[in-house]
Amino acid sequence: MAAKRAGERAKGSATTLQRIRNRASGSWLIGRRGAYSFEARELIRALEGCGCAPAQIGTILERVAKAYGGEVPRKVSRRTVGRIKMEGGLMAKVQLACEIAKARGLTISDDCTSLRGVPHMARHITLEVPSYEPGADPDAYTHKTRVIDTTAMFNHTIDSQFESYEQLDDDLESLFRPIAAEIGVEYRSEDLWRIMVGKMADHAPDGQGLGRRCEERRDMVVRRDLGEAELSRLMDREVEEMIYARRPPPAEFTIGWEEVARFHLSMHLGAAAFDDLAPEERRRQELFIVGGCGGHKVMNADLAFCNAMAAAYGLGIEFIFELILPCLLPNAAHRATIETDVPGGAAARQAIAESKRGGVKLCGLLGALCNNKEDKRGYQDFHRWFFELVKFEKWGECVSRKFPDTSNIRYQSYLLAALELVKLIAEYRRFLELARDRKQEPRFTNIEYNAYTGLDDPATKTEIVSMALYYMVISGPAMRAIRNRGRRVHGVRTEPRLNYLACGPIYDEVIMHLDHIIYNAHPLFCSSGLASRGKHCVLFGSDWEDRHAIEAIEKLIPSLPGFRHTFVQGLLGARSCWDRFTVQFAGGSEIDAMTAAERIFCYMPAENDDNESLLGQLRKFARLNPTASARTFSDGASYAQNDTEAFARRYLTSDKVQQYIMHLTRKRDANGEAKKFRRMLLEHEAEKARVSREKRDVRDAAERKKREKLEALQVMLNKDVVLLDKTTKAMLTDQLNWHKVIREDKKVPAFSKCNKAELQNLLCEALDRMQFEATTSHVAAAYPGSNPLADAPSPIASFAVHSPSLQHLAQAPGFAAERLPVEYETEDEV
């Protein structure tokens, strides 16, 4: 017996030794039929996901095997790595179809941007899924957000985005059907629409419009399913009779007519069946929420605060004093125009009107100087190292931090820039002086001069203080509450992300706190002890986020007489914006009436950060891989972020599934999808240009015809004729069009909805302007002897010199320029 056991141990040891030798030799890399094994493909995807260059992965595997005393049977090529990565993307799509087929409900989210001149769309889906880790409870479902893909598109229209979801449903059904029996789950066509209960997007019109379009599509699928269920209870002959009775065949029978007729019949029966459902079931089938990103709500409220704060100077404080505007911060061209033009000149006035001023402009200038998005521009590390030393000497804190990224679109970047500036105003002026004096020719550039001047301007400092205080009081706490992603323990999130449908109390608290600080602005912010009143001033009763900033603000406020007015006006602007964005959560709204179970059923993240982040990753990927397509990035991102590796180990390890995925990968790799898209995009843009040219040609022809008609028009120059009762609206309209088109009078307003009396007044005003322009332009002196009208004293005659439509008057027999009406004396005659 002992000998038998010893023999078994020896046999097991030999088997283990052989397994170790096989692993070291690299034979495990090759599976059946010479293809790389499932484990080898996992390893290759892991190496590629860690940043290894596809062309170097084969070399890495060879060197690792050699280090353990083995060798790799054959080197993995770059093309093979690309195909294995594509297989990961296909497995992620298989996983998505499987999870949708099992889910009770789902919500979608998306976002669009332009990348190198081509529109791109990122999409996510949120639904309840189990954990695929070994030993996990298969019946324990939690809400997860999965990457669908990133894809290039022709445009950002609602139709294009909606068609992409239709195509997604078709792709999932065709991809999953051949292996549904192996996995044990069936994905039916339109399952994506069947269980869709919500959509998250930003507040752009196309995002909200796409949500309503998806809701209509889901409602159609639900009613058609009910109608098909009713039809399935009937005999085939009864169904045919109902089809022919409801919609008789056309005279010329066409293929597909019966399917269309059956569709309409099922929709009709489904609508009746839907009305007969129990109220609870009907409400569940009707649930669909179109959400707006909470981060964009905060960002738009920040913008409203800054705009209202800047507009406060136009309001002033009645009977007390008039607020002084912040100093002008013009660009170099406008500054040159202002300095060279005569005081009050038209060019200087236009340059001043086009120039900007205030705290937002100052933060943008310093962002361009200290943290420009082009790393070759600006101060960059020089700024970071300088203020690292300044903060250590001033506060004893060793903090190395870049200036907030105002050069790119980032949440709260301008408010964070104001928070940074307000506590180090003197130090930033000293830094700009140092940057000036270290040059070979010590002088400020225009942008440096603007920043240096703005940091010393009281009105601009008032705006900076207001922006920094608003961030700490409202914007920062609100954004943190909305973007709460739950606590993590050992890298695992123990709480789910905030549900969008549970944001109502947060938004109510924001509005109530805004009311509180608006009506108590003076005792809260304009009296001593501000640094100790954080729990009374900050949203949710938090303490001040930056104690150095609030101490600096407390010292600055007494020297800023317009602070309270500016700050309160900004708060009022933010308050109106929050009112507009939170109508969806008001009492009696659909969200307010939802039960706790319905809120969980329609769960969606409170913000759209997933899509924003994915588009940012795509932009970075495209910068490092200029020739790669969005699909290549999407394959890697969906496999890595959707936990597809664990899913594949549980469901996709069979030879049949792996062979199917590998076969489909090679088929897709050879179809030239990216090249076809580029050709289709060029054809689309060419067609778009052709249609645009045709429309422009039609418009130009109509304008030429209109101009020819106006040129031949008998112009009314006498106000008495204009005011006659027999003058019709059509005649007045033609006369105003003449002034607008021929004379190019920009002051003629839109008059399509004016009555006759209003048209007469507008025409009289146009004649006054015409006479004044002719008087002051001295056209007659510019064209001596060119026309009999040139020597005429009448200003109307002077204008007629260069007006082709009045030439027929000059050639008419018996015409005398002196007989033209003159309403008032000219300057020459006085």
Tell me what the mean pLDDT of segment 407-433 comes to: 91
Instruction: Give the pLDDT confidence of 465-493 residue by residue, as tens digits.
Output: 999 999 999 999 999 999 887 666 555 66
Q: What is the percent of the chain with per-residue pLDDT over 90, rounded to a whole number?
A: 44
- Please provide residue 145's backbone torsions phi and psi, each rounded to the nearest 5 degrees: -105, 120
- The residues, ordered by sequence, that sit 6+ positions from 251 with a Cβ below 8 Å of its Cβ are none
Predicted local distance difference test score (pLDDT) of residue 172: 95
Measure the CA–CA gap between 559 and 428, rounded to whole angstroms: 19
Instruction: Give the pLDDT confidence of 248-279 residue by residue, as tens digits.
Output: 666 665 556 777 778 888 888 888 999 888 99
DSSP class per residue in 591-655: TTT--HHHHHHT--BSS-HHHHHHHHHHHHHHHH-TT--HHHHHHHHHHHHTTHHHHHHHHS-SH
- The residues, ordered by sequence, that sit 6+ positions from 758 with a Cβ below 8 Å of its Cβ are 751
Mean per-residue pLDDT over the chain, rounded: 84
Measure the CA–CA gap between 483 and 502, rounded to whole angstroms: 12
Contact yes or no for 610/145 (Cβ under 8 A): yes
Helix axis angle, 359-370 to 458-470, nearest 10° = 80
Q: How far is CA 309 from the centre of its chain?
A: 25
Instruction: Give the pLDDT confidence of 310-322 residue by residue, as tens digits.
Output: 888 876 555 455 6
Would you say the C-alpha torsion 303, 307, 310, 315 has a positive or negative sign? Answer: negative
Task: Give 730 or 242, the one with higher predicted confidence.
Answer: 730
Angle at 114 (CA atoms; ends 111, 119), nearest 5 degrees: 80
Number of helices (H), then strands (E), in the chain: 38, 9
Half-sphere exposure of 624 (CA within 13 A, CB side): 10
Strand pairing category for 118-130 and 106-115 = antiparallel
pLDDT over 60 at 14, yes or no: no
Measure the CA–CA gap between 210 and 640, rounded to whole angstroms: 28
**What residue type is assigned to position 493 of the chain?**
R
Measure the CA–CA gap between 148 and 642, rounded to whole angstroms: 9
Contact yes or no for 614/637 (Cβ under 8 A): yes
Integer-rounded Cα Rg, in Å, for the chain is 36
Which long-range contacts link 816-824 to residues 24+ away (Cβ below 8 Å)? Answer: 817/788, 817/789, 817/792, 817/793, 818/792, 818/793, 818/794, 820/717, 820/794, 820/796, 821/717, 821/718, 821/719, 821/720, 821/796, 822/771, 822/794, 822/795, 822/796, 823/719, 823/767, 823/768, 823/771, 824/771
DSSP class per residue in 187-241: --TTHHHHTEEEEEE-SSHHHHHHHHHHHHHHHHHHHHHHHHHHHHTS-HHHHHH
- The residues, ordered by sequence, that sit 6+ positions from 250 with a Cβ below 8 Å of its Cβ are 257
Helix, coil or strand: residue 129:
strand
Angle at 714 (CA atoms; ends 710, 720), nearest 5 degrees: 125
| CB count in 10 Å sphere of residue 715 | 20
Whether the model clears a pTM of 0.85, i.e. scores above it, the answer is no
Instruction: Give the pLDDT confidence of 803-825 residue by residue, as tens digits.
Output: 544 455 445 444 444 444 433 33
Measure the CA–CA gap between 737 and 762, rounded to whole angstroms: 11
Instruction: Give the pLDDT confidence of 681-721 residue by residue, as tens digits.
Output: 999 999 999 999 999 999 999 989 888 888 888 888 888 88
pLDDT over 70 at 802, yes or no: no
| CB count in 10 Å sphere of residue 11 | 10
Q: The tokens of 92 are what? A: 């992620």
- Widest pairwise Cα distance in the chain: 142
Measure the CA–CA gap between 247 and 257, rounded to whole angstroms: 10
Predicted local distance difference test score (pLDDT) of residue 542: 87
Strand partners, 551: none
Measure the CA–CA gap between 769 and 746, rounded to whole angstroms: 11
Tell me what the mean pLDDT of segment 571-577 comes to: 94
| CB count in 10 Å sphere of residue 334 | 21
Tell me the H-state helices in 715-818.
Answer: 719-722, 729-741, 756-777, 779-782, 795-801, 807-811
Predicted local distance difference test score (pLDDT) of residue 315: 67
Predicted local distance difference test score (pLDDT) of residue 789: 36
